[in-house]
Structure 1
Amino acid sequence: MDLFFRIIKFGLTGLLGMAIDFGVTWLCKEKLKIDKYIANALGFSLAVTNNYLINRVWTFQSTNAHWGEEFSKFIIVSLIGLALNTFIIYLFHQRKNGTNFYVAKFFAIVIVFVWNFLANLMFTFR
């Protein structure tokens, strides 16, 4: 049962992260005219920081005194997730007559969610 609730908490945290990610990406890409991949990285980075703090306290209830090491692990998992995220967007969006950028981004977020949960469960917060 504990695993089920962790997945739910991780998902809720991820939804907030997705809102931050999409919001910052949209702001940077559409309003500030920053390259879409840089905008994506900025949105993703702010969401990751938010997600670490919430997941540490709420989802995984970490009491690890070495939070710097733990955050580093979270960043490693997230950077791999960012690489997967960007690669998936590239595959879906850059093809001739490709998928809309934001639809591709949504698909990437769903796929990377699975990676992030499992990697954080087994590596970051074990």
Structure 2
Amino acid sequence: MASNKISLADWQAKLNPSGNTTTLKDDPNLVFSTATGRINNKPSDKVVGQNYEDGAVRIRRETKGRGGKAVLTISGIAKTADELERLAAKLKKKCACGGAVKDGVIEIQGDKRELVEQLLQAEGFKTKWAGG
């Protein structure tokens, strides 16, 4: 009975006939390589928020569709998803409440407009209250 086993070097040569190993690292399906170890995807540097024309960050109090509970939405910050997550975490910690980042908008549970406004101004943002 013939064996269908091949060596690792032969297998890699079949995958990459030129012998260049950089294309193996760039393969999106590859999660581990014996040469380099675990391959992590780099975080995206894509900006998820949008700035307003006047450069101000909008703080809006919403209750619609939330069972009557107040939620502050903070929009107008054009930063990457990681930076928005860090800013939201800082705001949630200072306000002692929950929240999330959804589609480039930071949501903070509760009605703490004054505190959130002070914290954002301390971070260097120009703020405006929007809505009711």
Tell me if both proteins adopt one fold, taking TM over 0.5 as the criterion: no
TM-score interval for Structure 1 and Structure 2 normalised by the shorter chain: 0.3 to 0.5
Which TM-score applies when normalising by structure 2?
A: 0.32
Q: Higher strand fraction: Structure 1 or Structure 2?
A: 2
Larger of the two Rg values belongs to structure: 2
